[in-house]
Structures are given as structure tokens and as C-alpha cells.
Amino acid sequence: MAVEAGLGVIDRHFAAENAHDVEATLATYTEDIVWDDVTHPASPFQGKQAVAQAYGGILEAIPDLNLRSVQRFQCGEHVVDESILTGHVVGEFAGVRGGGAPVSFRLLHVFDLRHGLIARENAWFDSAAVVRQVERFRLLSDR
């Protein structure tokens, strides 16, 4: 796959996520997408309907979610992206209730591409960093 095409679908994917547009995000996936967030207890999710439900939960927990790519590269049908996710955790995320805590954490994605779409998305993030930031927010809020 041409680098422009592979990176282009990832650009569209992140733009849709930052717009909180689940339908546009799903449009970047194959029908049989496998979405695996290694920190999510129900992962992996397979198929667009299951992934849509997972995204709904994430956006409910962090409604102002924003991803900023730090570095990205493609090798054949694979794209690796390191991003910074920022937002406020108002629901439950990474096993903790956020209470509106601001968070910023690194996120690593590995995408497998097929026919110009994302066929598999693996994601890793530092859930301990999220927990520390939420706990710090609670301590400061209780003062």
C-alpha cells in the first residue's frame, strides 16, 4: 500500500475521533474490524457494531477527548502511531471514576490495513498514569 493512502486513512480516523464522530470513525474500518485495547477488560471487540459500543463508552467517559499524534510511521500494511490523549474524565475510565479530572497520557496504536481501511487496531496506554492523575485531582479537589 502506498504510504500516502495508509497514512491518509489514519489521518481521517484521528480526525473523526477528535470530532467525536463515531460513524466517521467506523467508516475508516473494514466490516470485520478487530479493535483491541489491551487495557479494556472486554477486548478484543470484533465488527463495527461492537466497536461502536466501545467508542460510545470512551466518549461518555472522556467527552472532550483529543488525540495529537507525536510520531507515526508506516511499513507495508502496518502503521504505528504514538499520540498524546487529553481530556477530562467525567465517567469511568481505566477502572476509575474521573469526576471531571483532566488527564493527559501517551497512547500507542498499531494498525493493520487492508484495501485502504483499518482491519485491526491495537492500542496500549499507561492506565496507571490515568489513575495517578485522577487521584491527584481528587486530592486537590478535597482541599
Q: What is the 3-state secondary structure of the chain? A: CCHHHHHHHHHHHHHHHHCCCHHHHHCCEEEEEEEEECCCCCCCEECHHHHHHHHHHHHHHCCCCEEEEEEEEEECCEEEEEEEEEEEECCEECCEECCCEEEEEEEEEEEEEECCEEEEEEEEECHHHHHHHHHHHHHHHCC
Residue 60: pLDDT band (50, 70, 90) is very high
Q: Is the pLDDT of residue 8 over 60?
A: yes
Residue 39: pLDDT band (50, 70, 90) is confident
Report the CATH architecture of 3-141.
Answer: Roll (3.10)
Q: Is the pLDDT of residue 103 over 70?
A: yes
Residue 16: pLDDT band (50, 70, 90) is very high
| Domain-wise residue ranges, the chain | 3-141
The pLDDT of 39-54, averaged and rounded, is 93
What gap in Å lies between CA 39 and CA 44, rounded to an integer? 10
Cβ-contact 113, 78 below 8 angstroms: yes
Report the pLDDT value the prediction gives residue 7, as an integer from 0 to 100: 87
Instruction: For residue 36, list its beta bridge partners.
Output: 122
The pLDDT of 99-106, averaged and rounded, is 96
Tell the residue number behind the cell numbers 498514569, with chain if given: 129
Residue 141: pLDDT band (50, 70, 90) is confident
Q: Is the pLDDT of residue 52 over 90?
A: yes
Report the pLDDT value the prediction gives residue 15, as an integer from 0 to 100: 98
Q: What is the DSSP pairing of strand 92-93 with strand 45-46?
A: unpaired
